[in-house]
Amino acid sequence: MSGEISPLVHEALRMAVEHALNKIKEGKKLSTEDIFLLYLGTILKEMADVRSEIARLEQRIDENNRRIDETNKRIDDVSIKNRRREQENRRP
């Protein structure tokens, strides 16, 4: 599964978490399994949030890299122009 949970497992966990939350709302005692499922649901939510943040940061990094590449190209263009001017000025 390479770090991803299948949609079926995700849906089953979501339903189990909802069931545990309903027990809390009704004032019923939670079983060890209910607590574990709530904890697992929290972990998966946090992992999804982290993945989302990583994707956002990767996008920002890509944008910064693009800007750096553009700046480097401008620097190279200016450098080439300066070399040409120097060569022209050296000619008698």
Residues 41 and 13 sit within 8 Å (Cβ to Cβ): yes
pLDDT at 4: 65
Q: How many CB atoms lie within 10 A of CB 5?
A: 13
pLDDT computed for residue 2 by the predictor: 45
Strands in 4-56 per DSSP E: none
Mean pLDDT of 21-26: 95
Residue 59 forms part of a structural domain: yes
| Residue 2 lies inside a defined structural domain of this protein | no
- 29, part of any domain: yes
Question: Does a structural domain hold residue 54?
Answer: yes
Is 25 among the domain residues?
A: yes
Q: How many domains does the chain have?
A: 1
Render pLDDT for 26-80 as a digit per residue (tens, 0 to 9).
999 999 999 999 999 999 999 999 999 999 999 999 999 999 999 999 999 999 9
Give the per-residue pLDDT at 19.
95
Residues 6+ apart with CB under 8 A from 13: 5, 37, 40, 41, 44
pLDDT at residue 29 in the model: 95
